Structure 1
């Protein structure tokens, strides 16, 4: 059997993309309105926690050259191309849980999540 190895290049894939719920879009627009120079939010991943990866949200004043843009009702969500294999197809929501309001990520690629909800594995 002839096998060869190659380099994974995220640019070689057709991505499903990410979606924002109306509540997430409203919250992102509110954040942008409160911070001069901010144009949107960046969603990335980092290695952390007991399940492997965690979500990272940052404000964006200027997109990075490898950012993909997902927009809903004027709310801009930027995602680094390198994060797409881990979060492609994710729905971003903004919910109230008791006294807390938080972003929730419905990620079809997450095969296991830790009990505290801080990290996920793919």
Structure 2
């Protein structure tokens, strides 16, 4: 189901597949959230950005919104913006080392295009 409008999505719109985390991603998230006992988990959303259309937003979160969807894994919890869910449902999140850079990598089966620098993606 395609949702182009981020403002009109409700919990009952779809059944979500959720996310998968690689061992590397779960270890990194675990180390990030254990630095501060007030952190409840990692928050994931999207915003319009870049040449392809959308950009992932990742942040540590202390007070998740009642609108955020909660995904629990063995050692960590991931909160996802309800508005972002139709665009990123089914994504595998990895944490990779590429040269001198380390970052989260999103393997999104719904992403059809991405920009050359890898900063943004689009869903048709």
Using the size of structure 1 for normalisation, the TM-score is 0.89
Q: Is the 8 A contact 2:93 2:106 kept in 1?
A: yes
Could you tell me how far 1:8 is from its partner in structure 2?
Answer: 4.8
Q: Is the 8 A contact 2:9 2:82 kept in 1?
A: no
Does the residue aligned with 1:34 lie in a helix, a strand or coil?
coil
C-alpha separation between the residues in 2 aligned to 1:102 and 1:8?
Answer: 31
1:76 aligns with 2:74: no
Q: Is the 8 A contact 2:69 2:82 kept in 1?
A: yes
Could you tell me how far 1:20 is from its partner in structure 2?
Answer: 1.0
Whichever of the two has the greater Rg, that structure is 1
Could you tell me how far 1:36 is from its partner in structure 2?
Answer: 3.5
Unaligned 5+ segments in structure 2 are: 1-6
Unaligned 5+ segments in structure 1 are: 1-6
C-alpha separation between the residues in 1 aligned to 2:45 and 2:102?
Answer: 20
Give the structure 2 partner of residue 4 of structure 1: none
Deviation sequence 1:56-101 (CA, Å, 0-9, x none): 0111112111111112221111101111111000010001111111
Does the residue aligned with 2:95 lie in a helix, a strand or coil?
strand
**Number of residue-to-residue matches in the alignment:** 116
Select the structure that is richer in helix: 1
C-alpha separation between the residues in 2 aligned to 1:10 and 1:52?
Answer: 22
C-alpha separation between the residues in 2 aligned to 1:107 and 1:100?
Answer: 20
Could you tell me how far 1:35 is from its partner in structure 2?
Answer: 2.3
Give the structure 1 partner of residue 122 of structure 2: 121
Say what the alpha-carbon RMSD is for the aligned residues: 1.4
